[in-house]
Amino acid sequence: MQKLLVTGASGFLGWNLCQIAAVDWDVYGTSFSNAIAIPGTTMLPIDLTDFQALKQLFQTVQPDAVVHLAAESSPNRCEAEPDASYRLNVTAAVEIAALCADRDVPCAFASSEMVFDGLQAPYLEDDRVSPINRYGEQKALAEVEMLERYPRTAVCRMPLMFGAVPPTASSFIQPFIQALRSGQDLKLFTDEFRTPTSGTTAAKGLLLALKLTEGRLHLGGRERVSRYEFGCLMAAILALPTESIIACRQQDVPMAAKRPPDLSLDSTKAIRLGYAPRSLCAELDALVGKV
């Protein structure tokens, strides 16, 4: 079997992707602060911002393909720690593209819907980027520099993702579920829209992109929903109490990073390649008893 190197394997998306990829690949996953065992994956600890360690990683593994997922993905933390987040989100990403170029192996990169300002959704791959927070700025810059260094890179803009999680990570629904089960108020925006999908569907899309495409690709879900609409649907399907779900607006919740209002992605291009996001109902049904 060919070797697949997955950075950020201990994160939510990486954990999902490694388990799916292990069917067809000899998978090597990296972690930094969170050690974890993943079935079918050889885990390797590394600080990806240490270029010499990164170079040694490639020499040791000799990957036939790379999926780069590791990132500082909290917009608020990127605002608070701009230098540290830049080293991981931009510098390390470009170095990985360069190492893939040196070996002429396929590379897929998890970018973000946050490269847009949320004012002209739904977004196509060729729409102008216009980030309004530091995380979006860093992802937009990484896209450009990775493609300049290695045009064969598949730059996959990922949506809001959810699903079952490892002990080392979370998706955006885990705090929702915890709040509802404990009877705490859960304030959800009625004026922030996304095209969410499950971590498993997103992971399959990344592996598809790794094999079939290069350049930018959107891997959003099929349905545009507000966070409030999603929360109500999730509660209904997972049989969670709904009394404490409270509708609110973005302006009601102060945050360090600005939040775009509508980051819906048009994923027609990916669907034509074989990407197959399911309905939100089907995705949530699959989580019954697992979250």
Q: Are 94 and 102 in contact (CB under 8 A)?
A: no
Confidence class of residue 255 from pLDDT cuts 50, 70 and 90? confident
pLDDT at 35: 85
pLDDT at 34: 83
Q: Taking the CA of residue 1 as centre, how many other CA atoms within 13 Å lie in the half-sphere pointing to its CB?
A: 13
- pLDDT tens across 17-56, in order? 999 999 999 999 999 988 899 999 999 999 999 999 999 9
pLDDT at 79: 96
Confidence class of residue 68 from pLDDT cuts 50, 70 and 90? very high
| pLDDT exceeds cutoff 90 at 136 | yes
pLDDT > 70: what percent of the chain? 100
| pLDDT exceeds cutoff 90 at 204 | yes
Instruction: Report the C-alpha gap between 166 and 16 in whole angstroms.
Output: 9
Q: Are 228 and 194 in contact (CB under 8 A)?
A: no
| pLDDT exceeds cutoff 90 at 77 | yes
pLDDT at 160: 97
pTM of the predicted model over 0.95: yes
- pLDDT tens across 87-129, in order? 999 999 999 999 999 999 999 999 999 999 999 999 999 999 9
Which string of DSSP letters, residue by residue, matches 166-224? -TT---THHHHHHHHHHT--EEEESS-EE--EEHHHHHHHHHHHHHH--EEEE---S--
Residue 225 neighbours by CB distance under 10 Å: 19
| R_g over Cα of the chain | 18
Q: Taking the CA of residue 17 as centre, how many other CA atoms within 13 Å lie in the half-sphere pointing to its CB?
A: 33
Please give the average per-residue pLDDT across 259-288, as a whole number: 98
51-61 vs 93-103: helix crossing angle, rounded to 10: 30
- pLDDT tens across 216-252, in order? 999 999 999 999 999 999 999 999 999 999 999 999 9
pLDDT at 150: 98
Average pLDDT, the chain: 97
Select the more confidently predicted residue: 253 or 209. Answer: 209
Domains of the chain, with CATH numbers?
3-161+199-218 (3.40.50.720), 164-195+223-264+278-285 (3.90.25.10)
